[in-house]
Amino acid sequence: MKTVESTRLFERGRHRVPAGTHSNSRAASPHPRYFARAKGEYVWDVDGNEWLDFVMGNGAVILGHGNEQVAQAVKQVLDEGLGAGLESELSIQAAEQFLKLVKRAEQVRFTNTGTEAAMHAVHLARVVTGRSRIAKIEGSYHGWWDEVFVSTWPDLSKAGESQVPTALPGGAGLNEVSVKQTVVIPFNDLEAARDILSVHQDSVAALLIEPVMIDVGFIAPEPGYLQGLRELTSNLGILLVFDEILTGFRLSTGGAQEAFGITPDLSIWSKGLANGFPVAALAGRRELMERTAPGSDNAPFVGTFNGYRPGLAACLATLKQIEDKRIIRNLNKRSQALVEAFNSNAKELSVAAVLHGGGGHFQPYFTDVPVKDYRSAATTNGKAYELWRQELDTQRMLVASRPLLHSAFSSAHSDSALEGFLDASRNILIKLAKENHVES
Ligand SMILES: Cc1ncc(COP(=O)(O)O)c(C=O)c1O
């Protein structure tokens, strides 16, 4: 594979840009991949190598790279003029289209990134409940802000008891007080949620949860779990906030809240909203959302780039296409087929590996432990994952760089792309089966 240009760019960039990238998640050894262009299911790097993309903007690019309708809508806005810092009809149209799909929300406000949407949800929950603390699930990621970048991919040697996880900072430089204030609960354990939240009920404003834990692969809620949390939080006066940033517009047209039939008090969205453009949203019940309107007793909701027109044009064009239910139905159907084929290969070859997935998201776990929360997901064998990733890399397929992340395909991916993925995965399962055979 040619890497001369990537190496040159890294050498040039790393003196001015830490790690040569603008997000640590893209830092890689010996150098990050520097992309030149993308279309449909493919990206091409600066050396001209063609890659089948199974990262898809960390799940954001749901309709494929360079989707024509989205591109046209954005070009039109650029021609009309940005009107930065002003409202326009587009911001109402995008809100109407969003609420047409997300029927369990009554109002919506747009911002730019998922982290900002999470920050808004936290402020609003405090205003509404008069309480200050946030509860979250161990292992889930909701952005890099102090209150929520807690126990995100935590080091389990420091994380305490599984049923009463210790709140650990997700990185250096966070406010220690904020981190300690955050209440952490394990996923898929209603009893632990009940025990922990009951103790802190007078101080917890909101439970922030990814209804399916996609940031660490794909961990579905067990039957009754989300319903149980809905009842529990209502009884305790805690707001239930769904982070739909990865589930959004991939599991169903109305998000995970529609797929599982649960109405959260608030929800936050981004990624799938605008097919790769930076748009995020806070949505929810009218009487709660109204508390972000101007007013000294209300939560702040401001931002120069909130409702940024190119982003909203992309959002409207994306959501209009997603309204056609066949897109998500197909993503789910094809994910299911991928999961079944991978898992039947693993079973036939007696390899401890299982693919989880849905809505075009997927991730293999190399473990024989049933994956139901962060700790069981963390039993995945890192070496086996790296072998798998490298095999796909050799076949010019991009997948998530680490085992506790997630890969994704889009509606633009062809059947042959998915077959290629399965073939490459099978090669690795065969290698792993041989290694197991030698070891035993
Ligand atoms: C589930 C989830 N929530 C929140 C975020 C934060 O979003 P952003 O990167 O736009 O700040 C992410 C991003 O990876 C995410 O996957």
In order along its 440 residues, the chain shows pLDDT tens digits of 899 999 999 999 999 999 999 999 889 889 998 999 999 999 999 999 999 999 999 999 999 999 999 999 999 999 999 888 889 999 999 999 999 999 999 999 999 999 999 999 999 999 999 999 999 999 999 999 999 999 999 999 999 999 999 999 999 999 999 999 999 999 999 999 999 999 999 999 999 999 999 999 999 999 999 999 999 999 999 999 999 999 999 999 999 999 999 999 999 999 989 999 999 999 999 999 999 999 999 999 999 999 999 999 999 999 999 999 999 999 999 999 999 999 999 999 999 999 999 999 999 999 999 999 999 999 999 999 999 999 999 999 999 999 999 999 999 999 999 999 999 999 999 999 998 765 54
Asked if 368 and 296 sit in the same domain, the reply is: no
Best residue among 21, 24, 112, 115 to mutate for probing ligand 1's pocket (most ligand atoms within 8 Å of CB) is 115
Asked if 332 and 301 sit in the same domain, the reply is: no
Asked if 415 and 281 sit in the same domain, the reply is: no
CA of 114 relative to ligand 1 center, distance in Å: 5
Q: Are 46 and 36 in contact (CB under 8 A)?
A: yes
CA of 141 relative to ligand 1 center, distance in Å: 7
Q: Please give the residue range of the domain that contains residue 228.
A: 68-322
Ligand 1 interacting residues, C-beta cut-off 6 A: 58, 113-115, 118, 141-143, 210, 215, 243, 245-246, 270
Q: Given 260, 294, 322, which residue is the final one in a domain?
A: 322
Q: Given 281, 299, 322, which residue is the final one in a domain?
A: 322
Asked if 77 and 193 sit in the same domain, the reply is: yes
pLDDT tens, position by position, 26-64 = 898 899 989 999 999 999 999 999 999 999 999 999 999
Residue of minimum CA distance from atom 2 in ligand 1: 142
In this prediction, residue 437 carries a pLDDT of 62
Asked if 360 and 317 sit in the same domain, the reply is: no
Atom of ligand 1 nearest to the CA of 210: 1
Domain with residue 357: its CATH number is 3.90.1150.10
pTM higher than 0.85 for the full model? yes
Residue 386 lies in a domain: yes
In this prediction, residue 438 carries a pLDDT of 59
- For the CA atoms of 205, 227, 139, 429, what is the dihedral angle to 10 degrees? -170
Q: Which residues contact 109 (CB under 8 A, 6 or more apart)?
A: 95, 120, 281, 282, 283, 289, 292, 301, 306
Asked if 212 and 358 sit in the same domain, the reply is: no
CA of 115 relative to ligand 1 center, distance in Å: 6
Residue of minimum CA distance from atom 8 in ligand 1: 114
Asked if 431 and 349 sit in the same domain, the reply is: yes
DSSP assignment of 68-136 equals: HHHHHHHHHHHHH---TT---HHHHHHHHHHHHH-TT-SEEEEES-HHHHHHHHHHHHHHHHS--EEEE
Q: Are 155 and 149 in contact (CB under 8 A)?
A: no
Q: Given 257, 287, 322, which residue is the final one in a domain?
A: 322
